[in-house]
Chain A
């Protein structure tokens, strides 16, 4: 009987180690906390979303607070981006959204800049101020065709 108990114990340890590995993958690497519905949805409308895609991160001061839920064209043929955010977030009504790039060639993400008003954005509302993606090829094109210098 002694031997069998030892084996049960070892099997228990194995299961524990396996479950710990699963938990590490899900919670630490998978970022389980933000992958579901955050429940707090806001909308931002951009002229150009560049390489932004579904599940791109949304950040405030570089800290991830949510992700892009979907991108669609609205009636004015502009890009309407639905943001899925942490419900604990309190954003003033004059906050702005911008599309930025991590590094020179990195992934694009939505950066939120909190405003100063007392009134808060409610779920489903639209950002008043937005800034579109900076397109590297447009800049290079302007440089090559000389527009960039004419402005000076």
Chain B
């Protein structure tokens, strides 16, 4: 079939594969570096609070608005499907379970990657290219400790909170469509929601997912910035790569967590 498959192509494929594995190893070592930096004094509390402000507070409007919109869509789509089976009273359960188990953590994760993760990579990448990190090292301040760790920690910490806000606004959006527009009974919307949702199966799963996604995108976005080539093109590529890598890993991890949680 192919003269196209020359040894050169195979070798290059092998090269890509092994460099991908090397990159994975470096990223794991980088994550380990962040964890040890958390344990090492001094505590960079003010830096973390600042990073929570950048990643979390500034994302609130986006996350709440998106949650509301997604909830409204779910309400409408769920209603038109359920009404065929005469099961429109279960709308609350459908909207709530979909939001809590999947869309809350996943969509919030993707939004935070786009809003805060990319900014983190670009900011650290710009610091690399203007040699600010070297400047910190000269003052014997470890940039892992001063720059990277607070940002990664903030992204991890912020995700469960944002995801929960997303879900609450989504449930509210579904309520607005289902009860105020379509005319279902508000009591039965909330009752089917409350009956369907379990703490351990649904809410805990949602929080664990959000936390894992937060750690994942925190590590990936800081790592891509930290290892960014020191020029404008390099920073732009790193930022793109951070968004792509983090999104793919997030979706894959989502499947794995769902499968291991059982049901």
| A contact set with B: CB distance below 8 Å | 4, 7-8, 10-11, 14-15, 17-19, 21-22, 24-26, 28-32, 35, 55, 57, 105, 107
B142 sits at the interface (CB 8 A) = no
Residue of B nearest to A8 (CB): B49
Closest Cβ of chain A to B61, distance in Å, is: 11
Q: Could you tell me if A11 and B53 are in contact, using CB atoms closer than 8 angstroms?
A: yes
Closest Cβ of chain B to A53, distance in Å, is: 11
Can you list the 5 inter-chain pairs with the closest CB atoms, starting with the nearest?
A: A18-B161, A30-B199, A21-B164, A30-B203, A35-B199
The answer to whether residues A22 and B161 also contact, given A8-B49, A29-B96 and a CB cut-off of 8 A, is yes
Among A11, A18, A55, A107, contact of B165 (Cβ-Cβ < 8 Å):
A18
Between A and B, 16 residue pairs with Cβ closer than 8 Å are A4-B46, A7-B49, A10-B53, A11-B52, A11-B53, A14-B161, A15-B52, A18-B56, A21-B161, A21-B168, A25-B206, A29-B96, A29-B171, A30-B197, A31-B198, A105-B87
Give chain A residues whose Cβ lies under 8 Å from the Cβ of B87.
105
Q: A4, A21, A31, A35: which has the most chain B beta carbons within 10 Å?
A: A21
| B contact set with A: CB distance below 8 Å | 46, 49-50, 52-53, 56-57, 60, 87, 96, 100, 158, 160-162, 164-165, 167-168, 171, 193-195, 197-200, 202-203, 206-207
Closest Cβ of chain A to B46, distance in Å, is: 8
Give chain A residues whose Cβ lies under 8 Å from the Cβ of B165.
17-18, 21
Q: Could you tell me if A25 and B168 are in contact, using CB atoms closer than 8 angstroms?
A: yes
Give chain A residues whose Cβ lies under 8 Å from the Cβ of B171.
29
Give chain B residues whose Cβ lies under 8 Å from the Cβ of A26.
199, 203
The answer to whether residues A32 and B199 also contact, given A11-B49, A11-B53, A25-B167 and a CB cut-off of 8 A, is yes
Give chain B residues whose Cβ lies under 8 Å from the Cβ of A30.
197-199, 202-203
Give chain B residues whose Cβ lies under 8 Å from the Cβ of A11.
49, 52-53, 56-57
Give chain B residues whose Cβ lies under 8 Å from the Cβ of A14.
52-53, 56-57, 60, 161
Complex formed: what's the CA distance from A31 to B198 in Å? 7
Complex formed: what's the CA distance from A15 to B162 in Å? 9
Give chain A residues whose Cβ lies under 8 Å from the Cβ of B199.
26, 30-32, 35
Residue of A nearest to B104 (CB): A25
Q: Could you tell me if A25 and B52 are in contact, using CB atoms closer than 8 angstroms?
A: no
Give chain B residues whose Cβ lies under 8 Å from the Cβ of A18.
56, 158, 160-162, 164-165
Give chain B residues whose Cβ lies under 8 Å from the Cβ of A28.
194
Complex formed: what's the CA distance from A17 to B161 in Å? 8
Q: Could you tell me if B203 and A25 are in contact, using CB atoms closer than 8 angstroms?
A: yes
Give chain A residues whose Cβ lies under 8 Å from the Cβ of B53.
7, 10-11, 14
Complex formed: what's the CA distance from A70 to B198 in Å? 16
Give chain B residues whose Cβ lies under 8 Å from the Cβ of A21.
161, 164-165, 167-168
Closest Cβ of chain B to A145, distance in Å, is: 28
Give chain A residues whose Cβ lies under 8 Å from the Cβ of B160.
18, 22
Complex formed: what's the CA distance from A35 to B168 in Å? 21
Residue of A nearest to B92 (CB): A29
Q: Could you tell me if A19 and B161 are in contact, using CB atoms closer than 8 angstroms?
A: yes
Q: Could you tell me if A35 and B200 are in contact, using CB atoms closer than 8 angstroms?
A: yes
Give chain A residues whose Cβ lies under 8 Å from the Cβ of B52.
11, 14-15
Give chain A residues whose Cβ lies under 8 Å from the Cβ of B202.
30
Complex formed: what's the CA distance from A30 to B206 in Å? 11
Complex formed: what's the CA distance from A4 to B96 in Å? 38
Give chain B residues whose Cβ lies under 8 Å from the Cβ of A55.
198
